[in-house]
């Protein structure tokens, strides 16, 4: 927060508190007029009139108490712009303390499971439940609460992996993230070429009978020239590059003719964020074990 806005917030906050205090004293009856009276303030609404009596003493004292409490709170804790308070407390600092305490308390539990391999953890129900909860907190927003994925986000339950589904590969993926890039070929192929290559790609997954044979043949030669370097000459993909298998009828962005054509024409860019700076190695180990379990059912 800039110095101007810090001062602005501080002045407004204190002005409201002091203004209310002044108003309280300015409208309070003097001691000699403490007694109640039958006089009214002269206005009436719906048959109700307000007597011109002083505030009850307890009400007045409670109001003063709230003013004193408010000023004391603002002196001790943040609330006046950039002023951090005499105690130096902050919500972020408290969160860090609680996280450090939790890490210390649960470290033995995580170390216990970290000593087991991903395969061994498949028989540890409590460990997998811990991995599931952490998956829900960190991964479900993209892959879904059940890990079944969504448009552009891989299904983790079908044993079809872009970069491989081996335990150590899963750990690497979660820790370091992935950056998948499919170049756009629209300007290189032209619209007719895009549709020819689309026809050939769809023929690899068993749709040849519904496609134009001539288009499939033309698309095959173009595929070998432009696409085989990543997807392989047989279209079965290359996990080292994250290039998907085009023969299994599993599609990340949809397998209709127009959806595949869109991918070829405009390219795709997928990003899996790295979690190594957000999660400890032990937690990544448990999440990887849970993800691995999804494809073993």
Binding residues for heme c, by number, are 139, 142-143, 182, 227, 230-231, 272
Backbone angles phi, psi at 83, to 5 degrees: -65, 125
Known binding residues: 139, 142-143, 182, 227, 230-231, 272
Q: Is the dihedral of CA 154, 157, 163, 168 positive or negative?
A: positive
Closest CA to 294 of 142, 169, 146, 162: 146
Q: What is the DSSP letter of 80?
A: B
Beta-carbon neighbour count of residue 170 at 10 Å?
A: 24
Q: Report CA Rg, the chain.
A: 34
For the chain, what percentages of helix, strand and coil (3-state, to nearest 5) are there? 55, 10, 35
Separation of first and last alpha carbons in the chain: 52
- Please classify residue 250 by burial: count the beta carbons closer than 10 Å to its beta carbon, then call 0-12 exposed, 13-18 middle and 19+ buried: middle
């Amino acid at each position: 927060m800039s110095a101007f806005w810090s001062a602005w917030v501080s002045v407004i906050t204190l002005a409201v508190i002091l203004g209310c205090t002044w108003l309280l004293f300015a409208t309070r009856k003097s001691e000699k007029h403490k007694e109640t009276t039958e006089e009214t303030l002269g206005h009436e609404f719906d048959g109700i009139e307000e007597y011109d009596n002083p505030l009850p003493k307890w009400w007045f004292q409670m109001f003063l108490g709230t003013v004193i409490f408010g000023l004391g709170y603002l002196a001790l804790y943040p609330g006046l712009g950039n002023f951090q308070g005499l105690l130096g407390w902050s919500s972020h600092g408290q969160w860090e303390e609680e996280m450090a305490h939790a890490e210390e308390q649960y470290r033995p539990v995580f170390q216990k499971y970290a000593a087991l391999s991903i395969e061994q953890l498949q028989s540890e129900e409590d460990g997998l439940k811990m991995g599931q909860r952490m998956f829900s907190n960190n991964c479900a927003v993209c892959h879904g609460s059940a890990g079944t994925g969504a448009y552009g986000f891989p299904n983790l339950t079908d044993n079809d992996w872009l970069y491989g589904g081996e335990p150590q590969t899963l750990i690497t993926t979660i820790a370091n993230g992935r950056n998948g890039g499919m170049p756009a070929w629209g300007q290189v192929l032209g619209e007719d070429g895009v549709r020819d290559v689309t026809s050939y790609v769809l023929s690899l997954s068993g749709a040849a009978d519904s496609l134009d044979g001539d288009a499939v043949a033309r698309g095959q030669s173009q595929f070998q020239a432009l696409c085989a370097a990543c997807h392989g000459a047989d279209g079965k993909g290359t996990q080292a590059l994250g290039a998907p298998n085009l023969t299994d009828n599993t599609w990340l962005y949809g397998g209709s003719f127009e959806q595949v054509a869109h991918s070829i024409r405009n390219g795709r860019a997928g990003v899996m964020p790295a979690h190594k700076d957000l999660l400890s190695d032990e937690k990544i180990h448990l999440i990887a074990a849970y993800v691995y379990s999804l494809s073993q059912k």
